[in-house]
Amino acid sequence: MQNSTSSPVGQPLAATGVAGGSGAMFDGIAARYDLMNRLMTFGIDQRWRRRTVDALQAAPGARILDLATGTGDLALMVADRIPQCTVVGLDPSAGMLAVGREKVAARGLSGRVELVQGDACQLPFADQSFDGITMGYGIRNVVDRPRALAEMARVLKPGARVAILETSEPRGLLGLGAKLHMRVVVPLLGGLLSGAPREYRYLQRSTAAFPSPEDFAKLIESSGLKMQELITLLAGASCIHVASPLSRLGLASAK
């Protein structure tokens, strides 16, 4: 079970002994990433992306940033669920983005969804330029998480929300099956079917090394954001952390 001793708040992934997590590593699994997700989660992953988008409570026509967009599943979900919105998806992996761009074009959404290469720690966007941010299964790969969270706070408009979907170690009796699935089935099946065992072992280890939901919430609150909601999914197998920029909450409510 993850705790704050084995993975202190804000501790970089590299310091936990879990290496990787760069865009380059994801290039290796890009071609089969979507198929593997559907197989290994029995399709539940898409339901959780939907809940992540809905947690933004964004208005029609909003401008949304999807960080660690990968092959664009969450960016496309945003476009599906928020009428007339525009989406910028950002990711360092050229391979994942290439798959994503094909999907955007196939859906005829090139006018509303743009995928760009970049790093969550150094966003190439102006202050207060987005009405919402999503990030799905991405933050655990970011080495300097406090910096990425501070960047989110910077580019969000006052009162806007960020919704961060991330896997965690499931808890309790109910979570036992989910834990076995994540610790044994995912690395084994992922390695076999994708032909990239190292990458799927990394996915499992990076989940185990990620802070508990409570510790991650503390990190969020020390990075210029205020927690609004913590949504726990399937006995804690995944969580959605919802937050808003801290310094502007007062300003927004004073208006």
Ligand X SMILES: C[S@@+](CC[C@H](N)C(=O)[O-])C[C@H]1O[C@@H](n2cnc3c(N)ncnc32)[C@H](O)[C@@H]1O
Q: Does 163 bind ligand X (CB under 6 A)?
A: no
Which span sits near ligand X by CB under 6 A: 4-12, 137-145, 150-158, 166-174?
A: 137-145
State the amino acid at position 152 in one-letter form: M
Instruction: Kindly state the smallest distance separating residue 162's Cβ from ligand X, in Å.
Output: 14
Options 141, 168, 204, 244; binder of ligand X; rule CB under 6 A: 141
Q: Please choose, out of 117-125, 169-177, 192-200, 246-254, the segment that lies near ligand X by the rule CB under 6 A.
A: 117-125
**Binding of ligand X at residue 120 (CB under 6 A)?**
yes
State the residue number with the nearest CB to ligand X. Answer: 70
Q: Does 26 bind ligand X (CB under 6 A)?
A: yes
Per CB under 6 A, contacts with ligand X among 64-103 are: 67-70, 73-74, 91-93, 96
Q: Which stretch binds ligand X (CB under 6 A): 4-12, 130-138, 186-194, 242-250?
A: 130-138
Nearest approach, Cβ of 120 to ligand X (angstroms)? 3
Among 21, 170, 236, 245, binds ligand X (CB under 6 A): 21
- Tell me how far, at minimum, the Cβ of 173 lies from ligand X, in Å: 28
Q: Which residue bears the tokens 């898409």? A: 46
Which spans of this chain sit near ligand X (rule: CB under 6 A)?
21-23, 26, 67-70, 73-74, 91-93, 96, 119-121, 136-138, 141-142
